Amino acid sequence: MRRLWIAALLLAAMFSCALFNSLYLRGLATQISGLLVRAEAAAEAGRWDQAGALTQDAAALWEGHDFYLHVSLRHTDTDQIRTGLQEVDEYLGAQEMGEYSAANAQLTTQLKLLWEAEQFNLENIL
């Protein structure tokens, strides 16, 4: 009977960690995506400096969680987001609206997909 309780406790701990990770990533992805959407709106209005500052805030937010993200996610996924942030920043510097908008859309989609991949649901378990 003791083994059963230990197994149940371990299972509950793993479930709690998976649920925490999903909620944590959802919050982080939502914050970063919100900053990127605001940056795109600023760029469309011709406020390139404000768009750059918002993008830098998004990159700093991502970097601030770098240790946790590298521990809990695949390195290729975290590297893609980091590369996307750098790409968006370069297009902002060049003030290339078309390329910037496409790169920004791709980055926000990658953030959404990253969170969806970490959701605790039957689709991801199977």
Selection from 89, 81, 86 nearest residue 107 by Cα: 81
Q: What is the pLDDT along the chain (126 residues), one digit of tens a residue?
A: 889 999 999 999 998 988 898 899 999 999 999 999 999 999 999 999 999 999 999 999 999 998 999 888 888 989 999 999 999 999 998 998 999 999 999 999 999 988 888 777 777 666
DSSP code per residue over 65-95: THHHHHHHS-HHHHHHHHHHHHHHHHHHHHT
Q: Where exactly are the structural domains of the chain? A: 19-125
pTM of the predicted model, to two decimals? Answer: 0.86
Q: Please tell me the distance from the alpha carbon of residue 125 to that of residue 92, in angstroms, as a whole number.
A: 39
CATH architecture, domain defined by 19-125? Up-down Bundle (1.20)
